[in-house]
Amino acid sequence: MRVLVVEDEPRLAQNIGAALHDGPGYAVDVCHDGEEALLYCATADYDLVVLDLMLPKKPGQEVLRRLRQRDGATPVLILTAVSETQKTIDLLDQGADDYMTKPFDLGDLIARARALIRRGKGVRQPALRLGAIVLIPADQTVRVGGQPVELSPTEYRILEYLMHHPNAIVSKRELLEHLYDFTWEHHSNVIEAHVSNLRRKLRSASESAVLENRRGRGYRLTSSDEASA
Ligand code: CA
């Protein structure tokens, strides 16, 4: 999952970015003003935008309005000051999904980020299921055919993304863009190795869990074993 943090206070921006990266393992891009935010959103496809309201160049409200004009789906979590409560409530009418009042607890932020991403993907239940594969984002555990499977953080993130796109071919580029920040091109060579480790671990847990590599097209996760899910 890839998250954009838009916050002009450098230390707060850094702390939020680190929390979302170290906790749930999201790829995080950070920018510091409203114009940059729109540029980032035009360039990358985010799974969540954390958006401060008081920003240089363009206010958060304007960023939200422009974002909603072209993309209704990306969840937006507003960061706000106590004095802006009424404005924040208006923003929920204008397409923001949730808000937090500063100062806030970073653990609370992570919990809300997780909930919004689940909702944004149309998955309301806490566990993601595909045939024999069950992934629980809350504690980052994976079971295949009822057996726990130990994954590295990168393998977990690959599986989480593919579980959100079951049976679909996901291109290598799409996967990279959602796993990493703007450095994603540097990871292009190692992703194959992570995918192949993940494939092996899934397969050894259940023959039905198949992670295909469609050469030149991308990756496809399927699991036919509905019964043991
Ligand atoms: Ca601010």
- pLDDT (tens digit per residue) in 77-115: 999 987 777 777 778 877 888 889 999 999 999 999 999
pLDDT digits (tens, 9 = 90+) for 180-205: 877 777 788 888 899 999 999 999 99
pLDDT band for position 68 (cuts 50, 70, 90): confident
- Sign of CA pseudo-dihedral 186, 190, 192, 195: negative
Average pLDDT of every residue of the chain: 88
C-alpha 229 to ligand 1 mean position (Å): 46
In DSSP terms, which residues pair with 223 in a beta bridge?
Answer: 209
Taking the alpha carbons at both ends of the chain, their separation in whole angstroms is 24
pLDDT at 129 over 70: yes
Calpha distance 98→120 (Å, rounded): 12
Which amino acid type is present at position 175?
Answer: L
C-alpha 38 to ligand 1 mean position (Å): 16
Region(s) of the chain under CATH 1.10.10.10: 128-223
- How many Å separate Cα 96 from the centre of its chain? 17
What is the DSSP secondary structure assignment for residue 44, as one 8-state letter? S
pTM, two decimals, is 0.64
CATH number of the structural domain 2-120: 3.40.50.2300
Residues shown for the chain: 229
Region(s) of the chain under CATH 3.40.50.2300: 2-120
Considering the chain, what percentage of its residues have pLDDT values greater than 70? 95
Calpha distance 184→190 (Å, rounded): 11
Pick the CATH number of 128-223 from 1.10.10.10, 3.40.50.300, 1.20.120.160, 3.30.70.1380: 1.10.10.10
C-alpha 52 to ligand 1 mean position (Å): 6
Structure confidence at residue 227 (pLDDT): 43
pLDDT digits (tens, 9 = 90+) for 28-39: 999 999 999 999
| Inter-residue contact 145 to 201 (CB < 8 Å) | no
C-alpha 10 to ligand 1 mean position (Å): 10
C-alpha 15 to ligand 1 mean position (Å): 14
